[in-house]
Amino acid sequence: MRQLGLSYTTCILDHVARAKRRAKPKARQIHQGQREQGPAQLPGFTKRVSGLSPPQVLERIEDARVVQQEAEAELAVLIDQAVILGIGWPEIATRLGVTRQAARQHYQRRHRDRTTR
């Protein structure tokens, strides 16, 4: 098992890394020529957008950004309230569609930044 010139610690770390790679579920790969179907590919959405002029597209991008910022601000307030009410991070994370760790890191960091200002 021990490879030439490598320390015992390096061999152990290499073994652990290989075991983790084997344990990970395979990510879905997108083959050449295939595109990921995202929100921009909704039926009817492409038709509505394809007829817009360049200034209209830019205006729609700006409008969507403003709506996104407002939605994120509302979401932050709702998550703060959920935490105050004692709702756990696993349930909050499920509703956000992220892991518990991702939800806590994002929203607790935002909350700390806001309170230190």
Listed by start position, the domains of the chain span 52-117
Answer whether residue 31 shows pLDDT above 60: no
Stretch 22-48: mean pLDDT: 58
pLDDT category at 111 given cuts 50, 70, 90 is low
Answer whether residue 6 shows pLDDT above 70: no
CB 87 within 8 A of CB 95: no
Greatest Cα pair distance, the chain, in angstroms, is 65
pTM for the whole structure: 0.53
Per-residue confidence (pLDDT) for residue 66, from 0 to 100: 95
Q: What percent of the chain has pLDDT over 70?
A: 62
